[in-house]
Structure formats: structure tokens, C-alpha cells
Amino acid sequence: MRRFGFIIGLGMGLLWQGAYAGSYALTDGSLVSGDPINYDQTGVLLKTGEDSYLPRISWGKFSDEALRQLRDDAKDPQQRAIVEPMIFDDIPSPVAKSRPIAVKPIEAPARPSGHLGVLAVFVSPLGWVMVLILYGTNLFAAYEVAVFRHQPVPTVCGLAAIPLLGVASPIVFLALPARPGPDPESSGIAPVRPSYAPPPIPFATAIDRAAPLSSEGFASFAARGGLAGPDPVAVAPAQADLPAPVVYRRGDFLFNRRFFETKLAGFFRVVLSEADKDLRIHIKAVRGDFVGKRIARVTPGELYLQVFKDSATAEEMIPFEEIRDVQIRHKDLT
């Protein structure tokens, strides 16, 4: 009877041990069975029998499901704390909370309705700006054409100021032949010789024969290029022994920086030479007449003439577009 009880107890122990041992899946697909009896940082030791053990298996070889099972089979909290950090699926990943995007409807600007055609330009501020720019450009073109063709400025600009029809005014007056210049008697300048008509006698020789002493400097100015060749527009006869003035008219010459730097190069010096000290620059402009001794400086848009004011000198700014003609005169010539 005692022997029979020992056999029953041994069988019950074996059944209890087999029921407590578990099976764990590895990452290579195989299974291991045993009772986890020892946990450390390197792995777990499984007991397969009464005196048999499997080699310690590292944590990296167990699948996630096996790690959860080992955590549940842990015999104390210390073993559970060792295996829990190995289970990555149990760590909740932080989910960023996205702010809701509010989509606002876009209101399209109102478009002109109807068949407006050309009149659509006048329904917006940008259209009015474009019209004003074109209108001012047309008036400026009319003014330049009037000065170039010696036409009355009020007449040409007045016709150009008429809306729509005024566009043809600069074109018509530009196609017309140029009118003759101002009356020589009223302007104090004798009748001019056309620049394309060669004089019968060289000009410098004529000046030397007419006044060998007082015009010596003026002839030197001609020899430097100011009077040589067909460049000057007109040469009037001299008064007594004085040389005749040289006139450059708008329309025959383009008044710009290059013109003054080449034709009047000697008048840029602070101290004029003996040949130029008795000469004066007479400029007729829209604002009036200016008489100067030298050119202080010149820019791409205007020149600064040193004029005489109350026994003193001052710089007068004269835009190129306002100049009607430029004359080189002797200081004693009226």
C-alpha cells in the first residue's frame, strides 16, 4: 500500500512539472520548451528535466510573443522587470496631435460684366495710370517734334492734347518740312550759311585776314575743331574787327553730353587759354537766354554753365531738352 502511494505521488509530480513547463518560439521559427528558472541581462535559463538544463538563450533570439510569455511566467517582480524592456511592441508610440486645418473659401474678385471692349481700360485704377502715361508721352513727343521742326510749340502740343485724335499730331508735324529759324534781324544774327554748303574761302583764313589781332584766339579755337569743317550751322559777319559768332541750332545738332565734350572742349578748363578767354557761350533755352564763360560740369541729362550775375559767377543748370541753340561769341560782340 505504501509503495502504491509513492508511485501515485511521483506521477503527480511529473504531471505538475510537465504542466508548468512552457514552449517558447524563437526568431528562427523553432520552439524551445522548459521551465524558466533564471533571468539576467544576457538571457534566460530553461530547465527541461530534473537535472537537465538548456544553454542560456539570449533575449534577442525570442520572438515578441515568447517574450510576453516569459514575462507572464516570471516567478517574481525582479524577473518581470528584466524582461519588460525587451518587449518593444508594448511601448506605446507617441502620436502627435495634429491641429485641425480650417479651409477658408476664397472669394474671387468681381470681373467686369458685359462686352466692354476698349472701355474696359477705364474701369480699373491700373488702366487709368496706363492712359495717363501714354497721354503724357504723346505730349512730350509733340513738344520734341515742335522744337525739332521749328514749329509753334503751343499749336503742336495743343493738337496733341486732344484725346484720341491728338496721337496723329506729332506724326503729321514730323512729316512736314522744317520751318525756317527765327528772323535774323530780330535775333541779331545775320543770315546763315547752310552747313552743307562749303565756303569759298577757309573760315580760319577769312578771320585772319579780317582781324589779324583781335581774332587771333578765335581762330585758334577753330583750329582745334570748334569751327573747322562743315560742323557749325551758321557764321555771321563780324562787327568791325571782331570774329563772327558760331551758331549750333537744335535740329541740325543733337545736344547731349558728347556734343559739349567734343565741340566745346576748351570751355571746361578752370583757367581758359589765351585763345578762349575772350569768348563767351550764349545758350538760348526755353526758360531764357544764358551767357557764360565756361562749363562747370556736364551730366548725361544737363549741363552746368558758369553765368554772370551781379558782378559774380554762379552755376546755372540747363537741361539738354530745353536748349534751342548754342552760340560762341566774342565778349565785345553784341
Q: CB-based contacts of 285: which residues, under 8 Å, 6+ apart?
A: 318, 322, 323, 324
Q: CB-based contacts of 247: which residues, under 8 Å, 6+ apart?
A: 189, 192, 232, 233, 234, 235, 236, 325, 326, 327
- Alpha-carbon 330 to chain mean position: 49
Contact 179, 151 (CB under 8 A): yes
Mean pLDDT check: name the lowest of 39-53, 103-117, 313-327: 103-117
Span 68-97, average pLDDT = 76
One-character DSSP codes across 258-277: HHHHHHTGGGGSSS--TTTT
pLDDT at 226: 46
Coil, helix or strand at residue 79 = helix
Joined together, the cell numbers standing for residue 294 give 565756361
pLDDT at 190: 47
Contact 329, 279 (CB under 8 A): yes
- CATH assignment of 21-86? 3.10.50
> Which tens digit of pLDDT belongs to each residue from 254-295?
999 999 988 888 888 888 888 888 888 999 998 888 888 889
Kind and range of the H or E run holding 289: strand 288-298
> Which tens digit of pLDDT belongs to each residue from 85-125?
877 765 555 666 778 888 888 888 777 666 666 666 777 78
Coil, helix or strand at residue 201 = coil
Domain boundaries, the chain: 21-86, 121-175, 184-330
Contact 146, 157 (CB under 8 A): yes
Whether residue 130 is predicted with pLDDT greater than 80 in this model: the reply is yes
> Which tens digit of pLDDT belongs to each residue from 214-254?
333 444 444 444 444 444 544 445 455 777 888 999 888 99
Helix axes 168-175, 153-160, angle to 10 degrees: 140
Joined together, the cell numbers standing for residue 258 give 558728347
43 or 124, greater pLDDT? 43
pLDDT at 51: 81
pLDDT at 196: 42
The label of the residue with cell 551758321 reads 234
pLDDT at 75: 82
> Which tens digit of pLDDT belongs to each residue from 169-218?
888 888 888 777 555 444 444 444 444 444 444 444 333 443 333 333 44
d(CA 265, CA 226): 9
